[in-house]
Amino acid sequence: MSLVELLLIAVGLSMDALAVSICKGMVLNGTKLKNAIIMGLFFGGFHGIMPILGYLLGTQFNEILNNVDHWIAFILLAFIGGKMMVEALKKDKDSCEIQKNISISDLVMLSIATSIDVLAVGVSFAFLEVPIIEASIVIAVVTFIISAIGVYLGKFCGTSLGKWAEVTGGIVLIIIGIKILLEGLF
């Protein structure tokens, strides 16, 4: 997997975190820089850990599923991308289910919720034999940056930007899934 493909996957996977960061940025009081760094660290940290956990899970089944690994990666990426798009389009464009203050427990729950998809991608990385440490670092850094920017965007743009960011991220994941499938077939 090339660095460009990995960066595109990282950007696609970070769109849920971006949408939440935008939403939080709209209503959080206090220093935006502090909030941006804290949210970036939580979202980036969880996005960095989850692919490793998925990879470890995927390596348990790698030998058994070696001949269909490209199909598994395609199905996982297409499902995750499709789910992101459907959920984004179902949301009320002005809904933002958050409170004025954010606690550590809220950040942990939001971080887990936005990184479950990254766990599944980690499984597909095991089948594709992607160097997981490097991939996890790229995903974590990209998510940190995008989440931190999202806090600032929330102040100025509102929730509709987060909705379309999720749709775009879903499209990117589906396209990469198709590319992996085609490479595996030909």
State how far the Cα of 34 lies from the Cα of 160, in Å rounded to an integer: 24
Per-residue model confidence (pLDDT) at position 6 = 95
Per-residue confidence at 98, pLDDT binned at 50, 70, 90? very low
Token couple for 174: 């589906």
On average, the pLDDT of the chain sits at 84
- Name the strand (E) or helix (H) holding 17: helix 15-27
Per-residue confidence at 93, pLDDT binned at 50, 70, 90? low
